[in-house]
Structure 1
Amino acid sequence: MTESIAEKRSIKDRLEQALVQHRAGQLRNAEALYQGILNEAPEHPDALHLLGLIRGEQGQEQIGIELIERALRKRPLAAAYHHNIAGLYRRVGDMALASARFQDAFTLKPDYGEAYQGYAEMVTFAPQDPFLNAVEQQLTNPKLNDQTRCYLHFAAGKYLDDTAEYDQAFKHYELANDLAARSFSTTKNRQFFQDIVYFQPDLQSIEAQAQPVGDEPMPIFVVGMPRSGTSLVEQILASHSRVFGAGELNDLATVSLQLIQTLKAQSAPAGMRRDESSHRVQVAVDRAQARYLRALRDRDYGQGIQWIVDKHPLNFRFLGLLRAMIPGAKVVHVRRHPLDTCLSCFFQNFTKGQDYSFNLSNLGQFYIDYQRLMNHWSAIPGLDIHTVTYESLLAAPQAVIESLLAFCELPFEPACLTFYDTVRPVSTASFNQVRQPIYQTSKARWRHYAQHLGPLARVLDLDAESPAMITESRL
């Protein structure tokens, strides 16, 4: 008996250690600890559940689903298990099971705000759906913490947007964003953009010396503001037989930030000759290239793949480094009406990385800085940038898709028109859109909220008369 208690304590301690590693993003360390627990206790539900989450984060969604299903057989009333497996089902496109599991989660735990939000993102509500009553009932609970209230307000906003009660929807979205607000400095962000522009010319002299990148697949960077249509463009490209869609990767940001630090350190250091400084920068560029391409190609992309899509929207920040670092890469810039883009960001509860999105004024300032930076990159000779306008894609999909494929040196394939039939994991907020034929309801969506967008329109310089008078010509 004493041994059994000691073993249980040992497993509990290791599980706590694994959770610390998991939350810190040390997935390999956490994985090893979870696996060690399962070697001793193969049906330990928490270890199965948490290892399943790691498998999902590693792109092995089906294995993650199998592990969490095993955990649920041991602990069927665990609301968190239902919620987290719902996210994996959603990523692989099983919307019916995802919706059902989100419902199971908030049925088992009626104050599970994140599950309400997850379910709301899955469905299109009709008036009189009882969902809103359930959400509003939870909002009367004085014991709820701010994070739970935030999730519930986002869920209510989505319901009311679906049912065309736009003023009420906006009130809930405002409350949600107030609760979710994070610290963001437009001044620091602008300085960061200026630093990137300032150091980019240091690479001009070494662009021709960049190391060969080999015969393996090359990256297509799909960039733009979040919620501008980047996921849709990636899905179209990934439907081509010679393209693999890798989703939103952080690798370019990681190596670019390291390279910028190197450029800062080598900026006219005392006692260093120019040729010596240039050599050090060249070495840094070659290392950055090697690190990025190694990370990009370290995935199961299959045979016959010519391009891998890296669809992190905010990679637009680093385009000036690409010409030196990854010659031959393609860049696809996706643009959408600024008010539609910003409104869609405001209605999305981003979990990380978009701290500017919870305040309309910050959103507008960030959009302006993004636009200025893209204008700067577009003026640099040799940067291979192709622009896709979201509204044009909706209006004339075949022509826009044919032009996109031609830019990527790819022959046209009909599968790119029926991109919604392509089976692949999608983890971005556009998981629903990429699994449906192109629809028009997202175009000029801002008009429903025009009376609330005055401050945003002023920041964007789109308020010549009033938001309601803004025309498509002001794109």
Structure 2
Amino acid sequence: MLVEQTQKNKTPAAFIDSANQALKKGMFADAAAIMREGVSSYPREVGLFPLAIRTLIYTGEHGEASALLDQYARLARGNDHHSGLCAELYALVQKQAEAVRIYRPLASGGNRDARYNLGVNLLAIGELSEAEQVLEDLVAEDPNDAQALLVLSGLRRVTADSNHIEQLQRTLRNQKLPAMEHLKLHYALGKEFEDLGEYEQAFRHFQLGAEKRRSMLKYRVESDQKTLALIAEHHNRLEPVNCDSSAGQEAVFIFGLPRSGTTLVDRILSSHSRCDSFGEITDLPMALMVLAGSSLPKERLVQETAHWAPEKIAGSYLGRLSNFASGAEKHIDKTPLNFLYAGLIARSMPGATMIWMERHPLDACFAMYKTLFKMGYPFSYSFEDLAAYYLAYDRLKRHWQELLGDRIRFQSYEKLVQGFDLEARALVKTAGMEWETDCGEFHKNRSAVATASSAQVRQPLYKRAVAHWRKYEEQLAPLADALRAGGVELD
């Protein structure tokens, strides 16, 4: 193994190179051990810390990563470059308040990147007014700042008297802007026209933005279709579980398609005194990758994990959860694509809570289509890809419903917002807790939110997103036809 090679007399650069070689081979534990040795050998070599912290996050050593991040923050003081990297890592581990603390002095020096990142992290911790002012100042100084305009457009619902449409249109006419900046402006215009009820204009901009984004990707939806089908093929039985039936009772999984209401449920449950949220973490897939010990094609990983011992999976994942700093009894993992692992969760952690958010297919698909994701979900930028992925997703969901039965609570978004009191209480009960008043006042929850819903969940419950697709019924007809042809009920 790489880690067994002598590290004596290695330079900081050599430690980094060795760790990166290990990461390329999927040897995450080796990479973490190499960087741990590097930092031990050069405790004041600030350049070692970013990779050392990342490798610890990969291996789920969250407590150690947090301590090292605090050490990095102390060493980085006075160094703008490393302070910025440190703040970025704090945001990565969802410590946005710490990121804000670092970005403030950097931003006061005029650094535009720091000012933008300050605004985004202020938004995540719910300081909407200050975030808006930071972003408005950036745009006032540089009207071509498409990224700031995009975030600004999503911060509040605009009105006829207060919007950025004229500014966005003027900026869009700048032909010197890169294609990526142009498409951001289209998404921003789509959102603001939608707020004003000008749905034809809104759709035109969403479509232009999505088409431009899709043209930049090499994605083939057939690969995801194959993977989802393989999961159903190989994870097709629940073996007798030898572990304790309560194993995993601390874990609450909330999953489903992005923009389906997962953040809303997360906020309801994490408002409970016994429950907190770790957000959209990657600990379940990373636990599997670390256990594999080497880089495996996803098809092979799907096949092999079906035969792994349940206690092996549970031990790895639950160990990672225990490494987070938390005094709560219940911990939410709201990574949307964890629906891929529902069978593994049920088999290895029979005590875990699983909540699958469902939403009307056209509302779910269109909500993704009109969102420019920072990363992931490449199937969301064309109707053809969306329909193909949704049909594969729906088949896998039906597979889990048949196999797992009531082990998963399938929660309708529409039922939740239209019958909130009853449905929210049922969700809390599903997670093994008693109702608390704070769960009904989720919008007062002060914990950070780093998703596309960060501004919306600060508002009291609203119902305007239910059947929203009907505003675009004509434009969505090709998508509706493709879903109906695949057997999806829409009426």
TM-score (norm 2): 0.80
Unaligned runs of 5+ in 2: 1-44, 59-63, 293-298
What amino acid is aligned across from residue 449 of structure 1 in structure 2?
Answer: Y
Shift of 1:21: 9.0
Corresponding residue to 1:197 among 232, 235, 243: 232
CA distance, structure 1, for counterparts of residue 479 and residue 102 of structure 2 = 45
Find the counterpart in structure 1 of residue 427 from structure 2.
404
- Once residues 251 and 158 of structure 2 are traced to their aligned partners in structure 1, the CA distance between those partners, rounded to angstroms, is 39
Query: Structure 1 residue 101: deviation in Å?
Result: 1.3
Instruction: Provide the secondary structure at the position in 2 that maps to 1:103.
Output: helix
Deviations 1:70-118 (A, max 9, x none): 2123x22x22111111111111111111111111222233221111001
**What is the match of residue 167 of structure 2?**
134
Are the aligned partners of 2:72 and 2:86 in contact in 1 as well (CA < 8 Å)?
Answer: no
For residue 242 of structure 2, the aligned residue among 186, 209, 221 is 209
Task: Give the structure 1 partner of residue 219 of structure 2.
Answer: 184
Name the structure 1 match of 2:314.
Answer: 289
In the alignment, what sits opposite 1:301? Answer: 326
User: In the alignment, which of 433, 437, 453 is matched to residue 430 of structure 1?
Assistant: 453
DSSP 3-state at the match of 1:309: strand
Corresponding position: 1:79 with 2:115: no
Secondary structure class of the residue paired with 2:356: strand
Report the AA paired with residue 52 of structure 1: A
Q: 1:229 aligns with which of 261, 273, 279?
A: 261
Provide the residue aligned with 1:377 in structure 2. Answer: 400
Distance 1:367 1:435, change over 3 A: same
Closer, same or farther: CA 22–358 of 1 in aligned 2, 3 Å: farther
Partner of 1:250: 282
**Partners of 2:344 and 2:90 in 1: how far apart?**
32
Counterpart Cα distance in 1 of 2:91 and 2:372: 20
Instruction: Figure out how many residues of one structure are paired with residues of the other and give that number.
Output: 433
Query: For 2:143 and 2:66, how far apart are their aligned partners in 1?
Result: 30
C-alpha offsets along residues 410-429 of structure 1, whole Å, 9 cap, x if unaligned? 11111111111111111111
Q: 1:16 to 1:139 in 2, by over 3 A?
A: farther
In structure 2, the residue matched to 1:456 is: 479
Gaps of 5+ in 1: 1-13, 268-277, 465-469
CA RMSD between the two structures? 3.2
- CA apart distance, 1:63: 1.5
**Deviations 1:153-208 (Å, cap 9, x if unpaired)?**
1111111111111111111111111121223323221210121122214x633x42
- Shift in alpha-carbon separation, 1:22–1:136, aligned structure 2, 3 A: farther
Aligned residues with identical type, % of pairs: 25
Q: Give, in angstroms, the shift of residue 25 of structure 1.
A: 11
After superposition, the Cα gap between the structure-2 partners of 1:342 and 1:116, relative to the gap in structure 1 and judged at 3 Å, is same
Give the one of 184, 187, 190 matched to 1:151. Answer: 184
> Comparing both chains, which one has the higher relative contact order based on Cα–Cα distances under 8 Å and sequence gaps of 6 or more?
2
Query: Which amino acid in the other structure matches residue 105 of structure 2?
Result: R
1:217-270 deviation per Cα after TM superposition (whole angstroms, max 9, x unaligned): 611111111111111011111111111111112122233466774673599xxx
2:361 to 334, 338, 347: 338
Q: Is the 8 A contact 2:272 2:436 kept in 1?
A: yes
Question: 1:47 deviation in Å?
Answer: 2.6
CA distance in 2, matches of 1:15, 1:431: 33
**Equivalent residue for 2:86, pick from 22, 28, 51:** 51
For 1:164, give the aligned amino acid: G
| Mapped partners of 2:268, 2:361: distance in 1 | 23
What does 1:34-113 align with in structure 2 at a 5 Å threshold? 39=75, 42-73=77-108, 75-76=109-110, 78-113=111-146
Aligned to 2:28: none
The residue correspondences of 1:317-396 to structure 2 (distance < 5 A) are: 317-381=340-404, 384-396=407-419
Q: Distance in 2 between matches of 1:33 and 1:414?
A: 36
Sort the Cα spacing of 1:35 and 1:208 in 2 relative to 1 into closer, same or farther, 3 A: closer
Which residue identity is paired with 1:323?
A
Question: How far, CA to CA, are the matches of 1:336 and 1:354 in structure 2?
Answer: 17
SS at match of 1:308: strand
